[in-house]
Structure 1
Amino acid sequence: MIRALLPAALSLAATYAHSQGTDLRLLESPPSPPAPCTAKPGDPANCTRILACIGKDGLWFDGRAYGWNAGTLNGQISDGSTCTEEWRSGMAFGTGRWAVSCSDGSSGQVIYYIEHNETGTVEGRGLDTKGRALHVWTGLNVLEFLKDATGIPRLKCGPTDIPIS
């Protein structure tokens, strides 16, 4: 008896959930992890990690930059907001620009102004539309650049020391 009623019950539950704006997916597999980020210097398929401190309250960003000399970026803020936009290099005096828009309604601009040749890391600063300072690092070996005296990479975001891997 239960076997005969189960399909009908599931169908009714799914119809009700859909009418309430709820997505009922019982047998769906979890999302796939993102493809590996691979540094390919000089190649438009280049991918490097972007890390940033936002303001002085311990908020941080972790994402990826795609392209060479110009491209797109995406990532997530530690509060769960997601961000996307673009970047480009080759500006005056060897600088670059990073522009970002986030799901929390904020956007920001950063100018990259320092390159650390030993680690292939560039560093930049800017502001977002909420008035928060942005301090950004990206590059081939950004984790190597951010290692502290103990050899552990950390973001120093205000009073918060964030271990990263």
Structure 2
Amino acid sequence: MKNLCLPVLLALSYMFAAAAAPVPDENCVDIPDSRDSCSPLLACFGNSGEYFAGRALGRDKGTLAGVTNFGSICTGTWVSRNLIGTGQADFECDNGHWGKVIFHYRDDESGTVKGFGLTNHGVSIRAWSGHYIQDFLDEQSGQVNNKLMCGEVEIPLS
């Protein structure tokens, strides 16, 4: 989306170019009550093995950016609707894919938010955001060893 600043995209491009597969940004820091607050963001696109790793910036609303393991850069916006316990993220990728994710679950202990959505091609999306995604997944589904499965592909978690 157009409101994402160029330095963020350049930083993301550098961060993901250095790795064999995209991983969450380890410099992403939670800053309470700040629009500069950052949360890691992961998503699986269907069961094809394609996944997204990036970050969400802001508090209550903001921008998101990241890269898929197929090399597509995706950007977007998100907003929290705390009064009803949901949120929404809209994104578009440079490969022509775009979509929406509705976040409707927040684990109070880990702060991890979980969501579901669809792309413009009808592909389902499962997404997670927060600093303790791995702890949340380990507790909720028993997935361990620093990996999250997206179809037949493992996402490396830091």
Same-fold call, TM cutoff 0.5? yes
Is 2:122 the partner of 1:158?
no
Per-residue displacement from partner, 1:21-43 (whole Å, max 9, x unpaired)?
Answer: xxxxxxxxxx8658921111221
Alignment of 1:10-159 (within 5 A): 33=15, 36-90=27-81, 93-147=84-138, 149=142, 151-159=144-152
Distance 1:140 1:105, change over 3 A: same
CA offset at residue 90 of structure 1?
A: 1.4
Of structures 1 and 2, the one scoring higher in RCO (CA 8 A, sep 6+) is 2
> 1:35-83 deviations in whole A, cap 9, x for unaligned?
9211112211100100000011111000000000000000001100000
Structure 1: which amino acid aligns with 2:155? Answer: I
- Using a 3 Å threshold, how does the CA distance of structure 1 residues 63 and 150 change in structure 2: closer, same or farther? closer
Using structure 1 for the length normalisation, give the TM-score: 0.74
Task: State how far apart, in whole Å, the 2-side matches of 1:32 and 1:60 are.
Answer: 18
**SS in structure 2 at match of 1:71:** strand
User: In structure 2, how many angstroms separate the alpha carbons of the residues matched to 1:129 and 1:150?
Assistant: 29
**TM-score for the superposition, normalised by structure 2:** 0.77
The verdict on how the C-alpha distance between 1:149 and 1:74 changes in structure 2, with shifts beyond 3 A counting, is same
Question: RMSD across aligned C-alpha pairs, in angstroms?
Answer: 2.2
Counterpart amino acid of 1:161?
Answer: E
- 1:94: Cα distance to partner? 0.9
The alpha-carbon deviation at position 158 of structure 1 amounts to: 1.8
| Counterpart contact for 2:137–2:143, Cα < 8 Å | no
Partner SS state of residue 81, structure 2: coil
SS in 1 for 2:84: helix
Structure 2 unmatched runs, 5+? 1-12, 16-24
Greater CA drift, 76-85 or 140-149 = 140-149
Give 1:82's aligned amino acid: I
Change (3 A) 1:59 1:90: same
Question: Which of these two proteins has the greater Rg computed from alpha carbons?
Answer: 1
Alignment partners' CA distance in 2, 1:32 and 1:63 = 12
Code of the residue aligned with 2:66 in structure 1: it is: G
Deviates more, 1:92-101 or 1:60-69: 92-101
- Give ranges in structure 1 of 5+ residues lacking alignment: 1-30
